[in-house]
Amino acid sequence: MTKKKKYFKKFLIGIDLGGTNVYMVLVDTKGKIYAEKHFPTLAEKGPDFVIDNIILELKNLVNTNGYSIKDIWRIGIGSPGPLDSKKGIVYGAVNLPGWKYVKLKEKVQKATEIKTAVDNDANCAIYGEKWLGAGKKYNNIIGLTLGTGIGGGIIINGKLIRGINYNAGEIGHMSLNPDGILCKCKGKGCFEQYASASAIANIAKEKIRQGKKSIITEIVKGDLNKITSKVVYEGLLANDELAKEIWNEFIKYLATGIRNILHIFNPEVVIIAGGVINAGEKLFVPLREAVKKQTFEIIYNAAKIVPASLSERAGAIGAAGLVLFEGDFYGV
């Protein structure tokens, strides 16, 4: 009697490496999630510790769910940049101390003996939405992640646009005002200085310091350092005049940035991710109207502006999706 050959499913590990937390998923090639976990990055301990810990947690995730490391076909990692996604080298990351020319792909691949790919975290998040989320019906997608800054991802005809040295999609550094707020990138008036979650909070702090009265001050009990975009939104729900002014200004700039994007790329959909999307209709109704007023009708009518649907899973799912569908680019 011939012994049956044991069959292994083609599992993938997707990893979203953030400055605060790491999110990890175990998925199959159809996108079914079998297991997931998140844990603190502990970035202050340096790149070697972070990478070793990711590998340890990866093995634990696989083993505790009844599988073997031999069941894993490929690993995809989303990382802050700038980076070389072809070689899997992180050149530097503001939220990851000591990450200068870190050979992330090489280190993970060597430790696990599994082919690995590394790409920009925003690219991965948007690709996750393309594969399993709000963008799965579309092939021409622009993604915006509104957080500390504004991350971006561009998918045209189903393929991620990377640029000549793989750093395309820095939409947050599109300037809306050459005489505007100075950005960490050394430019002025960058999109993310006006339309990110951090921008909402920073503008609120500045206006209150200038003497504006607001319920926001009461919400944070006078500690302006505790002001976040969520706090400003609480003020909006309380019908606070300053909160309304800040929110309307935020929508004006977000709409202007999206208007520019629509005219350049003529996409089918713009997907917006980040905590601010929890505002629902208070964000999307005025935003769509503001975009419509300043966009060619034929371009606006072809595009949808929608919230992301995968929440914190998006980056890890997208990292797995990219190494699955665009493995040739990464040499895996």
**Whole-number Å distance between alpha carbons of 315 and 128:** 6
Helices (H) and strands (E) counted in the chain, each on its own, are: 12, 13
pLDDT band at 93; cut points 50, 70, 90: confident
Please tell me the distance from the alpha carbon of residue 174 to that of residue 256, in angstroms, as a whole number.
11
Domains in the chain and their CATH numbers? 11-120+313-330 (3.30.420.40), 134-309 (3.30.420.40)
Quick one: pLDDT at residue 323?
95
User: So what's the pLDDT on residue 10?
Assistant: 85
- To the nearest 10°, the Cα dihedral for 247, 313, 142, 87? 130
| Tens-digit pLDDT profile for residues 124-179 | 999 999 999 999 999 999 999 998 889 899 999 999 999 999 889 999 999 999 99
Average pLDDT over residues 171-198: 93
Q: Give residue 12's identity as a one-letter amino acid code.
A: L
Measured CA to CA, the distance from residue 211 to residue 197 in angstroms comes to 22
pLDDT of 4 reads 44
| Alpha helices (H) in 74-190, listed in sequence order | 104-112, 121-132
Reported confidence tier of residue 94, pLDDT bands at 50, 70, 90: confident
**pTM for this prediction:** 0.89
pLDDT at 9: 59
Statement: residue 218 has pLDDT above 80:
yes
Specify the DSSP element, H or E, that contains 255: helix 241-265
